[in-house]
A = this chain, B = another copy of it.
Amino acid sequence: MDDALRAVADPTRRAILVLVRDREVSAGEIAERFPEISRPAVSQHLRTLTAARLVDVRRAGNRRFYRLRPEGLAEAVTFLETMWSTSLSRLQHEAEREERAHTGDQDMKGSL
């Protein structure tokens, strides 16, 4: 998870992931989408993504095709979802307590 979240923290790498989400894309084609940075820079990002197991590589002749490897995101998604939804459900419960309190239907066990 650590590698995945670190990899995903960079905006260029996130953009690359979007590019390779739905189809295989060659390194060169990826690099074309980032005219502002050099090819080696893109290559290094691809290496980082590969090391984080966020993309798969297929070598075909001269070229290398990259594609999203969604399983690599599983742990990171789970972590963030847990933080997000667990805490949201807490907020929801508080909201419900608020509502009961206002309608005179209090639940003492719920109070802190």
Give A residues with C-beta under 8 Å from B.
Answer: 2, 5-6, 8-9, 11, 14, 17-18, 21-22, 68, 70-71, 73-74, 76-77, 79-81, 83-88, 90-91, 111-112
Main secondary structure of the interface of A (DSSP, over half): helix
Q: Contact check: which of B8, B74, B79 meets A112 at CB < 8 Å?
A: B74
Q: Copies per complex?
A: 2
CA distance A22 to B93 in the complex (A): 12
CA distance A73 to B60 in the complex (A): 39
Q: Contact check: which of B18, B70, B81 meets A88 at CB < 8 Å?
A: B70
CA distance A22 to B86 in the complex (A): 8
CB A72 to nearest CB in B, in angstroms, measures 9
Most buried by B among A22, A80, A81: A80
